[in-house]
Structure 1
Amino acid sequence: MATTLVSGAAFGAAMMAAGFHNPAVVIEQFKFENWHMLQAFLAATAASGLICAVAEQVGYVKLQPRSSSPLGLFAKYDGNVIGGALLGVGTALSGSCPGTLYPQLAAGVRTGLYALAGASVGGILWAGVLGKAVKKQRESAGVRPEAGVVNDALGLSRATTLLLLEAACLAVITATTIYTPRNANTVLLGATGGLLVGLAQLVSILTRRSSIGISGAYEEIGHVFWWLVGGADPGARPASHQNLLFASGVAAGAWGLLRAVPALAAVPPVEVPPALAVAGGALMAVGSRMAGGCTCGHGISGISLLSASSVMTIATAFAAGGLVAPLVH
């Protein structure tokens, strides 16, 4: 329990320092007006890739790549594509992602509260109805999740593929930094904030021997809801609350750092209309559960492990968010 809270607090503090408490950071990225979010994301992924590789090399931990989320409708990764699209649309609508809404809450940004409400509804729908429908669809189609890695698809060694990932992240960060003006909505540069998120990944590996991920918290909210509706039978108590504990640590870590460094939230945040934030929260919760992870679990952790399903999910999320954000903001 303590290690889960500690790793969550490290992650929350890192996102607070990176400026993700302000919905403008997410919205401007999807409108291609500022590349702070992508720079932070790529720096965190690159750092996480090195951390995970070293931890596995020395035998400290064995991390499994993210499995696919098939639906049996049109492709091996169709659940990742559909779930990623829902995640991207929800993130673009709400100016939040499953992890960043907690720094928003810590900073008193109302958008985070509305996004959390929507995400909780999404988790309830997933735990009670949608998740069961997806499971039934997989069974009828005769498909099941499979672990696949990018290096196998490319026919390269893991070390070579990881080196290419690091080089690609560095190249994009450099290019976008040169051609993007300083982000007035944040204190730190995007890459600097991303490196701090990478350090939070290190804390998680050292303390929990597992990588970061947060979207499972909304499914756990759903399980708790249906357990209470069903009479709170002790024999039917939800099996795990680890993701909820982690999310609590994220909020606490973000709040603690903001109290210590108030200048991190000196710029007035952009507030998203409540209806958009609630709808976006619900969509991103459902999408992340359908895809088996969110921008944290698939993006920072999954891509760093070269998971093919993570690449499909995040690529689709960014594409969908880029289409929707200019239309609604």
Structure 2
Amino acid sequence: MATSRPRTRSQTNGTNMGTNFSRLEATPASKENGLSMVVAFKSGVSALCGLVFGIAVEKSRVFEPAVVTNQMLFRKFIMMKVFLTSLTVGMFFLSVLSILPFTRKSYLLSRASYIGGLNKKGYFGISLGGFILGSGMAVVGTCPGLVGIQMGAGVQNSVFALVGVLTGTVLYGVTEPYLTSLTKPSTPIKYHFLYQLMGSPPFIISFPIFSMLGIVVFSLEMMYPWQYEVAMQASDFVGKAVLATPCWHPYLCGALIGSLQVPLVLILNATLGGSRCYCTVVSQGIINKPMEKLSPYLAKFRKGFSNWWQVIFIGGSVVGSYISASASGQYGNVDGVSPGVAFLGGTMIIFGARMAGGCTSGHGLSGVGLLNISSMAAVVCMFSGGIVTAQLLQLMS
């Protein structure tokens, strides 16, 4: 019976082993290409969401300093209508995403990412930061997420608000270790979410809440119709394309903003927010170890798409507000505060937002939308700070 001869090492290397080597060499490249495509896709989604956000905010007019001031003085309620509509719609969608089997994983990842941003923070620090943020909003007439929209719409002196925001980011980054040691709770927060405290699923708790919020928004519109709160004439709306009209109904703008939670959760595993982007921008100036030791807080924002997506999002909002304002002929028509006040207010809003762990979008729309208890406290303090400061400035003037 014939016996088969074993193949030599050279024969083996020349056939099967060669094929294996080619596969091993192709695998890293294919993975890198796949990763690049995923990042490019997510970047596109971030930019598109930012574009929609910029258009919706510009059409709502809540980026105007006078609108913010009038809300804090209870003269007009456009800002509250847009905010509550965005919160109601966003809370509804987040609740639905939490119960659907094919979206629950993305919801949980987004929720975990949100809680990660509140690491080492307690109610005192979050509340104090929220109050500072609200006070700054009354001073400058904007919040961190809307500074870029003001620039895109050509609001006067908005660039000084941006400089103040960047300065405030550096200031907080340097002082963060000391502030954290002063405000860090002795024991970690046990219940982050309202439904954990009450022992019920998220949808069961959120359903009556967003239903009541919807009733409040409807009541505000009945008492204060939006047509009488915007400084526009009837001729501004006649015979014009949708994008060419100077403003849209608060319900529409708020619904668009709240709906952005869906693509952000499903594709980016994140929720609506904007103040972290300034940490990423400023952190690019950390170029060596001594600078990194000066602010370990800012250094952690340097790399990673989880940090950069908000930069892309805010960039998209600048483009969206510019397109919207230009299409309606409103570009550069909004008065801003003085350069010094813009700088001071910009510094205050970002310092407060970073101390609180979120801004009006992060805490107000996403945190409350997720039924986060500390976010609810932050929002109360934001509006308290804004109302108190606006009243004091009114008295002083």
Alpha-carbon displacement from aligned partner over 1:97-129 (angstroms, at most 9, x marks no partner): 1112222111111242221111110111122x1
Which has the larger Rg? 2
Stretches of structure 1 lacking an aligned partner (at least 5 in a row) = none
1:217 is displaced (CA, Å) by 1.3
Question: What letter corresponds to residue 195 of structure 2 in structure 1?
Answer: N
Q: Of the candidates 221, 227, 230, which is equivalent to residue 177 of structure 1?
A: 221
Q: Which residue of the partner structure matches residue 13 of structure 1?
A: 55
From the superposition, tell whether residues 270 and 176 of structure 1 become closer, same or farther in structure 2 (CA, over 3 Å): farther
1:94 to 2:94 alignment: no
From the superposition, tell whether residues 180 and 272 of structure 1 become closer, same or farther in structure 2 (CA, over 3 Å): same
1:113 to 2:177 alignment: no
From the superposition, tell whether residues 159 and 242 of structure 1 become closer, same or farther in structure 2 (CA, over 3 Å): closer
Alpha-carbon displacement from aligned partner over 1:183-220 (angstroms, at most 9, x marks no partner): 22472232322112123333423442321110001222
Stretches of structure 2 lacking an aligned partner (at least 5 in a row) = 1-42, 232-245, 293-298
Q: Which residue of the partner structure matches residue 27 of structure 1?
A: 69
Q: Which residue of the partner structure matches residue 194 of structure 2?
A: 150
Q: Equivalents in 2 of 1:309, 1:163: separation in Å?
A: 20
Q: Equivalents in 2 of 1:161, 1:231: separation in Å?
A: 46
What SS does the corresponding residue of 1:227 show, helix, strand or coil? coil
Q: Equivalents in 2 of 1:164, 1:225: separation in Å?
A: 47
**What percent of counterpart residues are identical?**
24
From the superposition, tell whether residues 8 and 143 of structure 1 become closer, same or farther in structure 2 (CA, over 3 Å): farther
Q: Of the candidates 193, 197, 200, which is equivalent to residue 253 of structure 2?
A: 193
Contact 1:4/1:242 (<8 A) preserved: yes
1:19 is displaced (CA, Å) by 1.5
Q: Equivalents in 2 of 1:176, 1:195: separation in Å?
A: 16
1:158 is displaced (CA, Å) by 2.3
RMSD between aligned alpha carbons? 2.7
Question: What letter corresponds to residue 16 of structure 1 in structure 2?
Answer: E
Q: Which residue of the partner structure matches residue 286 of structure 1?
A: 351
Q: Of the candidates 303, 307, 318, which is equivalent to residue 239 of structure 1?
A: 303
Question: What letter corresponds to residue 94 of structure 2 in structure 1?
Answer: C
Q: Equivalents in 2 of 1:204, 1:258: separation in Å?
A: 25
Q: Which residue of the partner structure matches residue 46 of structure 1?
A: 88
Question: What letter corresponds to residue 215 of structure 1 in structure 2?
Answer: S
Q: Equivalents in 2 of 1:202, 1:157: separation in Å?
A: 19
Alpha-carbon displacement from aligned partner over 1:142-173 (angstroms, at most 9, x marks no partner): 44566611233345542232112212211221
1:132 to 2:192 alignment: no
- TM-score using structure 2 length: 0.73
Q: Which residue of the partner structure matches residue 327 of structure 1?
A: 392
Contact 1:124/1:218 (<8 A) preserved: no
Q: Which residue of the partner structure matches residue 262 of structure 1?
A: 328
Question: What letter corresponds to residue 224 of structure 1 in structure 2?
Answer: Q
Q: Which residue of the partner structure matches residue 25 of structure 2?
A: none
What SS does the corresponding residue of 1:32 show, helix, strand or coil? coil
Contact 2:164/2:343 (<8 A) preserved: yes
Contact 1:122/1:281 (<8 A) preserved: yes
Q: Equivalents in 2 of 1:113, 1:328: separation in Å?
A: 23
Question: What letter corresponds to residue 170 of structure 1 in structure 2?
Answer: G
Contact 1:124/1:226 (<8 A) preserved: no
- TM-score using structure 1 length: 0.87
Q: Equivalents in 2 of 1:165, 1:226: separation in Å?
A: 44
Q: Equivalents in 2 of 1:229, 1:193: separation in Å?
A: 45
Contact 1:69/1:145 (<8 A) preserved: no
Question: What letter corresponds to residue 254 of structure 1 in structure 2?
Answer: S
Q: Of the candidates 372, 376, 396, which is equivalent to residue 311 of structure 1?
A: 376
